[in-house]
Amino acid sequence: MLPASAQSPPAAAAATGEILPVSEVRAGMKGYAYTIFAGDQVEKFDLEVIGVLPNFLGPRQAIILVQLLGAKVEHTGVVAGMSGSPVYLEGKLAGALSLKLGIFTKEAIAGVTPIEDVLQAPVSLPGAQQAAQSAASAVLPETFSARSGLPAASALERIETPLVFSGFQQSTLREFAPQLAGYGFVAVQGGTAEPRADDAQLHPGEMAGMVLVQGDASINSACTVTAVRGDQVFLCGHPFLGMGTLSLPMARSRVVTTLASSLASTKIVNVGGPIGTITADHLTAVVGKLGPPPAMIPLDLAVVWGGAEKQFHFEVAHLQKLTPMLVAISTLNGLTQNPLYGEGNTLQVTGEVRVKGHASLRIENTYAPGDSGNPDGMSVALGILGTVSRLFSNTYEEPAIERISLRVESAAGNHSYRIEGAWLDTAEVAPGGTVRVRVLLRPYRGEPQMKELTLRVPEQAARGKTLRVLVSDAEGLNRAARGFFPGGAGAEGGLEPFIALLNRERRNDRVYAGLFLPAPTLILADKEMPNVPLSQLNVLDGKSAPGPAQILRESLAGEDAVALGGPVGGAVSLTLVVR
């Protein structure tokens, strides 16, 4: 518990329950705010009202402009993690600190979200409205400089939300720095504190936040508490990501120290025990409810090298905009920050994403070391990010992910291959006959290899027609067979056929040979209809289709593949005459 001297001022101010409407705020008013700079000590600092900016955030959404006073805040300036600090004028709660003015400024000037707007932020939405609200609100955060049109050095911007990484190395964070910055986060390294009995006994000026990842490593946000009304907790004074109604674990945050910087001062925090659920994320506040936290998505990662295996377990928040990146960054960290990992190895990834009520989405790909300067494991992370993103971006239903399981097996050296040439054993073939395809493959190092594949010409192939044989990597054949929608932009019938379509995608550690007939293929959502008669195409012409549709000039009549144990690249096109 806080000592009485530290606890009594904010507790006493909050106990009155009185608020000061923005309509009564005047320039020159003296006031104070509460926040934590270090430890559990809630500290009071003075401020003075400069003025009110009506309609700043939007219609009837004003901001109170204040100057922070006192040696400590004049030294640190406005600190990342200070957002939500309760501001009192005339002894009444007037708002939440939420904005800062410029960078490298000599004065600590901040914006305050009026308390009426903080407390009026919806605490939850009916289930029927949740999807619409989330879809409308789930956008990348815009800086307030864009709204104000002011130069960056003199613009009011949101106080950054520290994103606290525990168990992560700087090398991992650097790889995702652009994505994190795009969301308005300040990535800081921190730790985890043992849960305490008083974690849920929150007072204004203390800190809490959102749990995004927990387990063998953790990612959490941290904001200051503005007000507590019963079991409702109001934080931040601005949105986290503006996602509307949501369900995230809420945890106590405990400040270790405040780092003063001319560029960006920030609080260094440890994440404490779970205390409830973040239920709403809106323009003027983040709202939580004290109680049990919601469930998260289990993420299991096994890393294998030379017969040794190391396992990691994480739990990831279920958020359409963030879950793919959270899975990717957790995978990269678990993969690279352990003794079994080494650069210059080929990494084979297998696994599945289990979706409640549907078939599992299979994961199977191989990644060779590159020359880009990024960690080799980054290719694995980006591949996982793409897979999970495609699942979340389906247009049918929000997937209820039950578990993600990944296994990464490492083999020394670069085992990639390039297709250098291909030949048919014959230039002509009868309907129903077979043709052998010889493919010359050059490994990254070593002697070239020759592989043989077999294709069968359909009985219905017309004599005198010229067929095409495409010798290709997985991506090339996927594109040739699916046109502009490799992997499916949509699937008629819902999420189940969409997952089935993704599971049919070819794997990148194989060389493929595909036989194409000169007959149109109709691609309709998840359906491939080869050899469509022109009469049917004419019927469809000009009519709306029930899903994404396109017509390809060729039809895939058959294929063969050989697994190579490493990623394959390249393509060769050959012709074959039906005699």
Of the listed ranges 259-273, 429-443, 523-537, the one predicted with least confidence: 523-537
* Pair of tokens at residue 351: 């696994």
CA-to-CA dists, residue 265 to 233, 283, 314, angstroms? 25, 23, 30
| Both tokens assigned to 137 | 């609100």
pTM: 0.81
| pLDDT at residue 578 in the model | 94
Instruction: Identify the pLDDT of residue 533.
Output: 60
Cα three-residue angle 575-577-578, rounded to 5 degrees: 140
Where do the domains of the chain lie, and which CATH numbers do they carry?
4-119 (2.40.10.10), 160-290 (no CATH), 297-412 (3.10.20), 417-578 (no CATH)
pLDDT digit string, tens, across residues 30-42? 999 999 998 888 9
- pLDDT at residue 17 greater than cutoff 80: no
Where do we find the tokens 């990010």?
385
Coil/strand/helix, residue 207: strand
Confidence of residue 124 (pLDDT cuts 50, 70, 90): low
Residue 337 banded pLDDT, cuts 50, 70, 90: confident
CA distance 221 to 211: 7
* Residue 275 reports pLDDT greater than 50: yes
Let me know: does 250 contact 208? Beta carbons within 8 Å. Answer: yes
Cα–Cα dist 162/110, whole Å: 17
Q: For residue 463, count CB atoms less than 10 angstroms from its CB and return exposed for 0-12, middle for 13-18, buried for 19 or more.
A: exposed
The pLDDT assigned to 544 comes to: 47
CB atoms within 10 A of CB 271: 25
Q: How far apart are CA 498 and CA 87, in angstroms?
A: 50
Q: What is the pLDDT at residue 441?
A: 98
- The 10s digit of each residue's pLDDT in 184-222 is 677 777 888 888 888 999 999 999 989 999 999 999 988
**Residue of 47, 34, 100, 63 lying closest to 266 (CA atoms):** 100
Across 130-206, where does the E strand assignment appear? 156-158, 161-166, 185-189, 191-192
pLDDT above 90: percentage of residues in the chain: 54
Q: How confident is the model at residue 136 (pLDDT cuts 50, 70, 90)?
A: very low
What pLDDT was estimated at residue 247?
92
pLDDT bin (cut points 50, 70, 90) of residue 127 is very low
Decide which of 535 and 305 is more confident.
305
Give the mean pLDDT of 66-85.
Answer: 89
**Strands of 518-570, DSSP E:** 521-524, 527-529, 549-552, 555-563, 568-569
Give residue 469's pLDDT: 97
SS3 (DSSP) at 48: strand
